[in-house]
Structure 1
Amino acid sequence: MSDIALVHATFADAGEAERIGQAMVEAQLAACVNLLGPCTSIYRWRGVVERGDEYRALFKTTPELARELADAIAAAHSYDLPVIEIWPVAAGDAVLDWVRAETR
């Protein structure tokens, strides 16, 4: 088993998630993006509890590219404070080889 990085982000709508996901794969910052669909988020923002529908995306990349990918997602994102999380994940060597081959 080897490590890859999963980068998780939420977006305002499905179109934004797809547009940014496509751009990150085309830029070879991610080998793949899974668009996970709508979710309901409940969060505190500026002292008020808010609730809203968001769209989740999970990007597969290398540990070396994870921060650059997260920064690129944030730069293209519509939110003032996009929540982008980086998760190290154990994956099979074949998956790691594929992720490395499809990213720069």
Structure 2
Amino acid sequence: MTDIVIAQTTVDDEDQAMALARGAVESKLAAGAHIDAPFTAVYWWKSEIETAREWRISYMTTVARLPELEAWVSERHSYEVPQWVTLPVTGGSGAYLSWVVEETTKL
């Protein structure tokens, strides 16, 4: 196990995806972020099946920065109930894992 996590959310607007990705990196809450190409989401919402075009944002961050990143994204997210999931990073190259830690360390 490492102290690195991948945190993910989805949005229905490409500009918002870019703003959430870039803002988190600028704020040093994430070392980097990936925005996946749009996909179709199918889900239950308020007793109805909905479909939406969404973009997934994956943030590379540390366990220590995760609570602050989650709060930051939640404040800026347009969804009433945004997806927020975290995936533990169980391994990886030492150089990459060190880079994530270094880039998320507050100045």
Question: Which SS does the other structure have where 1:98 is aligned?
Answer: helix
| TM-score normalised over the length of structure 1 | 0.93
Question: Which SS does the other structure have where 2:41 is aligned?
Answer: strand
The answer to whether structure 1 residue 11 and structure 2 residue 11 are counterparts is yes
1:78 is matched with 78
Question: Which SS does the other structure have where 1:29 is aligned?
Answer: coil
Where do 1:1-104 residues align within 5 Å?
Answer: 2-90=2-90, 91-104=92-105
Deviations 1:49-97 (A, max 9, x none): 1111011111000111112212211111011111111111122221111
Q: Is the 8 A contact 1:5 1:88 kept in 2?
A: yes
User: Whose strand fraction is larger, Structure 1's or Structure 2's?
Assistant: 1
- Aligned residue pairs, count: 104
Structure 1 spans left out of the alignment, 5+ residues: none
Deviations 1:8-58 (A, max 9, x none): 110111100001111000000000001111011111011111111011111
Structure 2 spans left out of the alignment, 5+ residues: none
| TM-score normalised over the length of structure 2 | 0.91
Q: Distance in 1 between matches of 2:94 and 2:2?
A: 6
What percent of counterpart residues are identical?
Answer: 33
CA-based RMSD of the aligned residues comes to 1.2
